[in-house]
Amino acid sequence: MRLLLADEVGLGKTLSLGTAALALCLLSDREKGTRTNSSGTNLDAQGVPAGGAPRKARINPVVIFAPATLCEQWQTEMIDKLGIPCARWHTQKKVWLDVDERIISPAGREQIARCPLRIGIVSTGLMMRECLEKEHLSGLRFGLVILDEAHKARSQQGFGPNAGEPNNLLRFMREIAARSDHVLLGTATPIQTRPEDLWDLMGILHQGKGHFVLGNDLSKWHRAAEVLPILYGGQGVTDPYYAWELLRSPLPLVNSTDEPRARRLYSAIRQDLALTNDQWQSSQPLTDLTEESREILEDELYREIAGAAFFQRENPLVRHIVLRKRTALEDAGLLTRIGVDVHPDRNLTRELQRFDALFEGKALRTSEDFRDAYREARLFGKLLSKRGKGGGFMKNLMAQRICSSIAAGLSTAKMLLEGRTVEEETEEQEIALSVESLEERDVLERLIERLERIGEDPKLQGVVHY
Kindly tell me if the per-residue pLDDT of 46 is higher than 50.
Answer: no
Q: For residue 151, what pLDDT is reported?
A: 92
In a domain, 339, yes or no: no
Same-domain pairing of 283 and 369: no
- Tens of pLDDT along 169-183? 999 999 999 999 999
* Domain finish residue from 157, 178, 213: 213
Kindly tell me if the per-residue pLDDT of 188 is higher than 60.
Answer: yes
In a domain, 335, yes or no: no
Same-domain pairing of 156 and 256: no
Same-domain pairing of 436 and 359: yes
Same-domain pairing of 83 and 170: yes
In a domain, 362, yes or no: yes
Task: Count other Cβ atoms within 10 Å, centred on residue 153.
Answer: 27
Q: Are strands 2-5 and 180-186 parallel, antiparallel or unpaired?
A: parallel
In a domain, 414, yes or no: yes
Of the ranges 29-38, 150-159, 193-202, 334-343, which one carries the lowest mean pLDDT score?
A: 29-38
Kindly tell me if the per-residue pLDDT of 271 is higher than 80.
Answer: yes
With residues binned 3-state (H G I as helix, E B as strand, rest as coil), the percentages for the chain, rounded to 5, are 45, 15, 40
In this structure, what are the phi and psi dihedrals at residue 159, rounded to the nearest 5 degrees?
Answer: -125, 10
In a domain, 340, yes or no: no
* Domain finish residue from 213, 243, 275: 213
Same-domain pairing of 170 and 196: yes
* Domain finish residue from 213, 248, 277: 213
In a domain, 327, yes or no: no
Same-domain pairing of 245 and 376: no
Closest by CA to 435, choosing from 452, 413, 408, is 413
DSSP state of 155: B
Measured distance CA(415)–CA(424) in Å, rounded:
14
In a domain, 419, yes or no: yes
Same-domain pairing of 288 and 148: no
Kindly tell me if the per-residue pLDDT of 380 is higher than 80.
Answer: yes
Closest by CA to 155, choosing from 105, 97, 194, is 194
Same-domain pairing of 95 and 66: yes
Same-domain pairing of 26 and 175: yes
Q: What percent of the chain has pLDDT over 90?
A: 54
CATH number at residue 188: 3.40.50.10810
- Tens of pLDDT along 448-463? 999 999 988 988 888 8
- Tens of pLDDT along 119-167? 999 999 888 888 889 899 988 999 999 999 999 999 887 767 777 788 8
Same-domain pairing of 241 and 99: no
Same-domain pairing of 178 and 280: no
Q: For residue 79, what pLDDT is reported?
A: 94
In a domain, 330, yes or no: no
pTM of the full predicted structure? Answer: 0.80
Domain that includes residue 13, residue range: 2-36+56-213
Same-domain pairing of 161 and 81: yes
Q: How many domains does the chain have?
A: 3
